[in-house]
Structure 1
Amino acid sequence: MLDRSHRPHPEQQYLDLLDRVWREGSPRRDRTGVGTRALFGQTIRVDLSDGTLPLLTTKRVSWKTIVRELLWFLTGETNIRPLLQAGVTIWSDWPLAKYRRETGEEITQQDFEARIVGDEAFARRWGDLGPVYGAQWRHWPLFVPTDAAGGETLYRRDAQGIDQIARLVRDIRTNPSSRRLMFTGWNVAELDSMALPPCHTTYQYFVADGRLSGLLHQRSCDVGLGVPYNLVTAALLIRMLAQQCDLEPGEFVWFGGDVHVYENHAGLVAEQLSRAPRAWPTLRFARRPASILDYRFEDFLIEGYEPHASIAAPIAV
């Protein structure tokens, strides 16, 4: 465990990043039409060895939503219906926008979500996001040869594909010094079929002295809204993988490519930077599941989380 006695609060790294991007970021036009201020190539490093979780305290962040989303990713699911059934609405904006665009119906988000939950056929038609995170993590497309008439070799898509998560756990256990302990969601061939190409793209892991460290490369980083979620998701994965592979947690390194703040988040920036961070919470597990795919929401025990109030800000779709 690293000595923290003379170090600034680790959340200060995030606050400094938020401030720096807002003050120094290059004005940029973006696909949403809102506009951003952006810097390129920023980093945050967090020591996880004492059980702390990088859950921001300068505003309330819904850790329950983060856990449920991560468990949804790990199922390989791509339809928002299971999320909505669990009360998670963070993925509704994209299918709702598509529904309004293609049907012309100005349905409210609440009514759209209720139809997704209550009507399975409607959910299949309008609730699927395409091959987003979970599909790539658990079922990366694999094409296998099949014989055809005349001796010609054709290829068909394997129904299961490649389970990157299962392979990662196996490799950490059997070859911990490998430089290939990683998985990615950036499947170039399927980007156009996704509601939103992955923002947190590639995860890599490193084992040393009985500890598992992890790095997240994030191509697109909404500092105001998305990054607080992404930091926790990546830290949870490190903790889950460490438990499954009989290791202790080490360090988490976050690397952001296009790191931006939306122009309509001025109020969020000012309010959050006016607040002093509080002690980060800790995470422990209620049990050790049989595999990394068997975690349940109840297994995540977040203790000591006493944040400032939440800060509302619009999401750009």
Structure 2
Amino acid sequence: MTDTAASPAPHYEQQYLDLMRRIWRDGDERIDRTGVGTRSILGATMRFSLADDAVPLLTTKRVYWKVAAREMLWFLTGDTNIRELVRQGVHIWTDWPLDAYRRATGEAIDRDAFEARIIADTDFAERWGDLGPVYGAQWVNWPVYEAVGDGLYRKAEKGRNQIAELVEAIRTAPGSRRLLFTGWNVADVPRMALPPCHMTYQFQVSNGRLNGLLFQRSCDLGLGFAFNIFGLSMITRMLAQQCDLEPGEVVWQGGDVHLYLNHAELVEEQLRRTPAGAPKLRINRRPSSIFDYRIEDFEVLDYAPQAHIAAPVAV
């Protein structure tokens, strides 16, 4: 007799592990901007369902999803200074201004002391905590220039709010192919502490569901991806809720997808692990606008990951 029973579908995380294995084994080894070195490929795609509150959190290591959630909510405020993140115990953006401060002053200050000064000293925070016009600045206040005569232009006090415009477009023109926002402002890139890696988000309404796609020009697969895919899932759910839609699926597309050479221990340990479980992300309140969510509105259930794997961040 032939067993015709269908094989169970692979765990959603398996595509991530397969990509990690492929890059570690076959990626082009190269020296990158940080000087650390990577193994890299160009072009990768993964798809994840958001049906029934599903969320593609990695289970082969612990992902501190509240850090990613706080970062996303911070982006939506348009803030570009690390002070508010540091107040919330979020350290993921500190290394860039800390590195700039050390290089400018020669002071061998550690991260804890630097962050303490950011919180305590408003003037210090304004000078050394700002990241330039990164993500949120572009998302909710894209620069607009107005004519002042004789071919001269000046920057308007208020820019374009791509997120507010996106919500309105999803509600009023759900068939549009322009349901997107981007952080890649060519004129502003030189002033950013780090040009946007997760640079363009696009959305599609299909049969009452909202699908979300992220194009990421550069992806640190070992560390950054876990936050990036959670952020995409989170904002897709928020937009769906605000527009009276159900969440559908998220599609992640990477440009330069890489693993750092000094992440060998992380990669090899994670590839030895087997993914399991089906975590859920729930939003427990519907605020009046996309800009009024709080961290307390988000809840992750049924998440039982394996142990955290530490690895250094390349600046």
TM interval, shorter chain, is over 0.9
Distance in 2 between the 1:280 and 1:163 partners?
A: 35
Kept in 2: contact 1:144–1:155 (CA 8 A): yes
1:275 matched to 2:277: no
Aligned to 2:22: 20
Contact residue 200 and residue 230 of structure 1 kept, 8 A: yes
Aligned equivalent of 2:58: 56
| Deviation (angstroms), 1:281 | 1.1
Are the counterparts in 1 of residues 63 and 226 from structure 2 also a CA contact under 8 Å?
yes
User: Match of 2:230, SS?
Assistant: helix
- 2:163 equivalent to 1:165: yes
Matched, 1:243 2:241: yes
In the alignment, which residue of structure 2 is the partner of 1:125? Answer: 127
1:280 Cα deviation from its structure 2 partner: 2.7
Unmatched segments (≥5 aa) in structure 2: 1-5
Tell me how far 1:6 sits from its aligned partner: 2.8
Give the counterpart letter for 1:113 in structure 2: E
Q: Of residues 257, 269, 283 in structure 2, which corresponds to 1:285?
A: 283
The residue that corresponds to 2:211 in the other structure is: 213
Instruction: State the distance in 2 between where 1:308 and 1:223 align.
Output: 18
Report deviation, 1:28.
Answer: 1.1
Whole-angstrom CA distance in 1 between matches of 2:87 and 2:8: 45
Number of aligned residue pairs: 310
Does residue 76 (structure 1) correspond to residue 74 (structure 2)? The answer is: no
Separation (CA, whole Å) in 1 of partners of 2:242 and 2:152: 39
After superposition, the Cα gap between the structure-2 partners of 1:15 and 1:181, relative to the gap in structure 1 and judged at 3 Å, is same
Q: Which residue of 2 aligns with 1:307?
A: 305
d(CA) in 2 for partners of 1:256, 1:285: 27
| 2:142 partner letter | W
Alignment of 1:35-184 (within 5 A): 35-147=37-149, 152-184=150-182
Percent identity between matched residues is: 62
Which AA in structure 2 matches 1:275?
R
Q: Read off the aligned partner of 2:221 and give its amino acid letter.
A: V
- Normalised by the size of structure 1, how large is the TM-score? 0.96
Secondary structure of the structure 2 residue equivalent to 1:188 = coil
| Cα pair 2:12 2:48 within 8 Å, conserved | yes
- Once the two structures are superposed, residues 64-101 of structure 1 have per-residue CA deviations (whole angstroms, 9 ceiling, x without a partner) of 10010000000000000000000000000000000000
Residue deviations 1:2-47 (CA, integer Å, cap 9, x gap): xx98310000011111111100100111011000000111010001
- SS of residue in 2 equivalent to 1:269: helix
Partner Cα separation in structure 2 for residue 302 and residue 227 of structure 1 = 18
Separation in structure 1 between the aligned mates of residue 299 and residue 213 of structure 2, nearest angstrom: 23
Question: How far is the alpha carbon of 1:251 from its aligned partner?
Answer: 1.1
Deviation at 1:154, TM superposition (A): 2.2
Residue 312 of structure 1 aligns to a residue whose secondary structure is: coil
**Counterpart selection for 2:189 from 184, 188, 191:** 191
SS at match of 1:162: coil
Q: Is the 8 A contact 2:49 2:55 kept in 1?
A: no
CA contact (8 A) 1:51 1:282 kept: yes
Q: What is the root-mean-square deviation of aligned Cα atoms in Å?
A: 1.0
* Separation in structure 1 between the aligned mates of residue 9 and residue 297 of structure 2, nearest angstrom: 31
Shift of 1:153: 4.0
Deviation at 1:289, TM superposition (A): 0.6
Q: How far did 1:279 drift?
A: 1.0
Letter in 1 for 2:48: V
Unaligned segments of structure 1, at least 5 residues: none
Rounded to whole Å, the distance in 2 between the matches of 1:66 and 1:250 is 21
Give the whole-Å Cα distance in 1 for the aligned partners of 2:28 and 2:293. 42
